[in-house]
Amino acid sequence: MKRVHSAAYKLFHYPYLFRFPENEAFDVNDTEYFGRETTGNAEWDKNLASAMGERYLHPAEAAAMAARGVRIELVDPKDAIVIYEMICEHINNWLKHLEATALMGVRKPPVEGLREFNTFARGLARVGRRFGLVDMQDPYAVQRRRRNFRLEHRATMNLQDFEHADYAINRVIELARVRK
Protein backbone atom coordinates (compact mmCIF):
# COMPACT_ATOMS: atom_id res chain seq x y z
CA MET A 1 0.00 0.00 0.00
CA LYS A 2 1.40 3.36 -1.01
CA ARG A 3 1.69 5.87 1.79
CA VAL A 4 0.26 9.32 1.10
CA HIS A 5 1.96 12.21 2.89
CA SER A 6 0.40 15.53 3.83
CA ALA A 7 1.53 18.81 2.34
CA ALA A 8 3.18 19.75 5.65
CA TYR A 9 5.22 16.53 5.64
CA LYS A 10 6.27 17.08 2.03
CA LEU A 11 7.38 20.67 2.71
CA PHE A 12 9.65 19.59 5.54
CA HIS A 13 10.90 16.23 4.21
CA TYR A 14 10.91 16.10 0.38
CA PRO A 15 14.18 17.45 -1.07
CA TYR A 16 14.49 19.47 -4.27
CA LEU A 17 17.64 20.64 -6.02
CA PHE A 18 18.27 24.37 -5.49
CA ARG A 19 21.08 26.67 -6.59
CA PHE A 20 22.30 29.37 -4.20
CA PRO A 21 25.58 31.08 -3.15
CA GLU A 22 27.90 28.53 -1.57
CA ASN A 23 28.78 30.75 1.37
CA GLU A 24 25.17 30.32 2.57
CA ALA A 25 25.71 26.57 2.92
CA PHE A 26 28.24 27.05 5.73
CA ASP A 27 27.00 27.05 9.30
CA VAL A 28 28.12 29.98 11.47
CA ASN A 29 29.49 27.64 14.15
CA ASP A 30 31.49 25.63 11.62
CA THR A 31 32.90 28.80 10.11
CA GLU A 32 34.01 30.05 13.53
CA TYR A 33 35.57 26.70 14.42
CA PHE A 34 37.14 25.65 11.09
CA GLY A 35 37.40 28.99 9.30
CA ARG A 36 37.18 29.40 5.55
CA GLU A 37 39.56 28.38 2.82
CA THR A 38 41.28 31.29 1.14
CA THR A 39 43.53 31.70 -1.88
CA GLY A 40 45.26 34.84 -0.64
CA ASN A 41 43.64 36.96 -3.34
CA ALA A 42 40.77 38.97 -1.81
CA GLU A 43 38.88 39.46 -5.07
CA TRP A 44 39.17 35.80 -6.02
CA ASP A 45 38.00 34.75 -2.53
CA LYS A 46 34.99 37.05 -2.80
CA ASN A 47 34.03 35.52 -6.15
CA LEU A 48 34.45 31.98 -4.81
CA ALA A 49 32.28 32.73 -1.76
CA SER A 50 29.44 34.11 -3.87
CA ALA A 51 29.66 31.39 -6.55
CA MET A 52 26.44 29.50 -7.05
CA GLY A 53 26.41 25.92 -5.84
CA GLU A 54 23.77 23.22 -6.05
CA ARG A 55 22.34 21.40 -3.07
CA TYR A 56 19.22 19.47 -2.15
CA LEU A 57 17.01 21.40 0.27
CA HIS A 58 13.56 20.93 1.69
CA PRO A 59 11.13 23.67 0.61
CA ALA A 60 10.96 24.85 4.23
CA GLU A 61 14.73 25.41 4.29
CA ALA A 62 14.58 27.17 0.92
CA ALA A 63 11.76 29.45 2.15
CA ALA A 64 13.78 30.34 5.26
CA MET A 65 16.82 31.14 3.12
CA ALA A 66 14.73 33.28 0.76
CA ALA A 67 13.29 35.12 3.78
CA ARG A 68 16.87 35.97 4.85
CA GLY A 69 17.41 37.58 1.44
CA VAL A 70 19.47 34.82 -0.15
CA ARG A 71 19.23 34.56 -3.93
CA ILE A 72 17.90 31.06 -4.53
CA GLU A 73 16.92 29.29 -7.75
CA LEU A 74 15.44 25.92 -8.62
CA VAL A 75 17.63 23.82 -10.90
CA ASP A 76 14.50 22.34 -12.52
CA PRO A 77 11.99 25.19 -12.83
CA LYS A 78 9.13 22.72 -13.26
CA ASP A 79 9.56 21.83 -9.58
CA ALA A 80 8.22 25.32 -8.84
CA ILE A 81 4.74 24.09 -9.75
CA VAL A 82 4.92 21.14 -7.35
CA ILE A 83 6.31 23.21 -4.47
CA TYR A 84 3.83 26.05 -5.09
CA GLU A 85 0.89 23.63 -4.92
CA MET A 86 2.28 22.08 -1.70
CA ILE A 87 2.62 25.51 -0.06
CA CYS A 88 -0.89 26.56 -1.09
CA GLU A 89 -2.32 23.28 0.20
CA HIS A 90 -0.45 23.68 3.49
CA ILE A 91 -1.71 27.23 4.03
CA ASN A 92 -5.26 26.20 3.09
CA ASN A 93 -5.06 23.26 5.52
CA TRP A 94 -4.14 25.70 8.29
CA LEU A 95 -7.04 27.92 7.28
CA LYS A 96 -9.50 24.99 7.35
CA HIS A 97 -8.13 23.91 10.74
CA LEU A 98 -8.49 27.38 12.23
CA GLU A 99 -11.99 27.90 10.83
CA ALA A 100 -13.13 24.48 12.06
CA THR A 101 -11.78 25.07 15.56
CA ALA A 102 -12.59 28.78 15.78
CA LEU A 103 -14.08 28.65 19.26
CA MET A 104 -11.69 26.07 20.67
CA GLY A 105 -8.20 27.17 21.66
CA VAL A 106 -6.54 24.19 19.99
CA ARG A 107 -3.26 25.39 18.54
CA LYS A 108 -1.76 28.66 17.38
CA PRO A 109 -0.47 28.65 13.83
CA PRO A 110 3.22 29.34 13.13
CA VAL A 111 2.48 32.72 11.57
CA GLU A 112 6.09 33.67 10.75
CA GLY A 113 6.75 30.36 9.01
CA LEU A 114 3.51 30.63 7.04
CA ARG A 115 4.47 34.17 5.99
CA GLU A 116 7.82 32.88 4.76
CA PHE A 117 6.04 30.15 2.80
CA ASN A 118 3.61 32.70 1.33
CA THR A 119 6.42 35.01 0.18
CA PHE A 120 8.28 32.03 -1.28
CA ALA A 121 5.10 30.89 -3.06
CA ARG A 122 4.72 34.34 -4.62
CA GLY A 123 8.18 33.97 -6.18
CA LEU A 124 7.46 30.39 -7.26
CA ALA A 125 4.24 31.54 -8.96
CA ARG A 126 6.27 33.85 -11.20
CA VAL A 127 8.52 30.97 -12.23
CA GLY A 128 5.78 28.35 -12.45
CA ARG A 129 3.59 30.55 -14.63
CA ARG A 130 6.11 30.14 -17.46
CA PHE A 131 6.26 26.36 -17.04
CA GLY A 132 2.59 25.40 -16.83
CA LEU A 133 1.36 26.40 -13.37
CA VAL A 134 -1.63 27.95 -15.07
CA ASP A 135 -2.55 26.48 -18.39
CA MET A 136 -5.41 27.19 -20.72
CA GLN A 137 -7.95 24.55 -19.69
CA ASP A 138 -10.62 25.75 -22.10
CA PRO A 139 -9.60 25.55 -25.78
CA TYR A 140 -12.20 28.18 -26.68
CA ALA A 141 -11.18 30.70 -24.01
CA VAL A 142 -9.43 32.99 -26.50
CA GLN A 143 -12.50 33.13 -28.76
CA ARG A 144 -14.78 33.71 -25.77
CA ARG A 145 -12.55 36.55 -24.56
CA ARG A 146 -12.66 38.17 -28.01
CA ARG A 147 -16.44 37.78 -28.21
CA ASN A 148 -16.89 39.26 -24.73
CA PHE A 149 -14.77 42.21 -25.74
CA ARG A 150 -16.81 42.82 -28.90
CA LEU A 151 -20.10 42.49 -27.02
CA GLU A 152 -18.77 44.76 -24.26
CA HIS A 153 -19.13 42.11 -21.58
CA ARG A 154 -16.76 41.90 -18.69
CA ALA A 155 -13.64 40.18 -19.99
CA THR A 156 -12.63 36.84 -18.53
CA MET A 157 -9.37 36.56 -16.61
CA ASN A 158 -6.25 36.17 -18.68
CA LEU A 159 -4.49 33.19 -17.13
CA GLN A 160 -1.07 34.47 -18.20
CA ASP A 161 -1.54 37.37 -15.76
CA PHE A 162 -1.94 34.95 -12.84
CA GLU A 163 -0.60 36.27 -9.54
CA HIS A 164 -0.37 34.57 -6.16
CA ALA A 165 -3.29 35.56 -3.94
CA ASP A 166 -2.72 36.40 -0.28
CA TYR A 167 -6.29 35.74 0.87
CA ALA A 168 -5.56 32.50 2.72
CA ILE A 169 -2.52 33.77 4.62
CA ASN A 170 -4.29 37.01 5.55
CA ARG A 171 -7.25 35.02 6.89
CA VAL A 172 -4.89 32.71 8.87
CA ILE A 173 -3.18 35.73 10.43
CA GLU A 174 -6.56 37.26 11.28
CA LEU A 175 -7.72 34.05 12.97
CA ALA A 176 -4.39 33.73 14.79
CA ARG A 177 -4.87 37.21 16.31
CA VAL A 178 -8.26 36.15 17.62
CA ARG A 179 -6.65 33.19 19.43
CA LYS A 180 -4.27 35.33 21.54
Instruction: State the pLDDT at residue 119.
Output: 93
Write down how long the chain is.
180
User: What are the tens digits of pLDDT across the range 24-34?
Assistant: 877 778 778 87
Instruction: State the pLDDT at residue 167.
Output: 86
User: What are the tens digits of pLDDT across the range 91-137?
Assistant: 999 988 888 876 666 678 899 999 999 999 999 988 887 777 765 44
Which is more confidently placed, 78 or 108? Answer: 78
CB 87 within 8 A of CB 118: yes
Return contacts of 171-178, CB within 8 angstroms, 24+ apart: 171/95, 172/91, 172/94, 172/95, 172/98, 172/109, 172/111, 172/114, 173/111, 173/114, 173/115, 175/95, 175/98, 175/99, 175/102, 175/109, 176/98, 176/108, 176/109, 176/111, 178/102
Tell me the pTM: 0.77
74, β-bridge pairs: 18
If pLDDT is split at 50, 70 and 90, which confidence band does 87 have?
very high
User: What are the tens digits of pLDDT across the range 44-67?
Assistant: 888 877 789 899 999 999 999 999
Instruction: State the pLDDT at residue 139.
Output: 56
Sign of the dihedral through C-alpha 71, 75, 77, 81: negative
Instruction: State the pLDDT at residue 105.
Output: 62
Average of pLDDT values for 8-18? 96
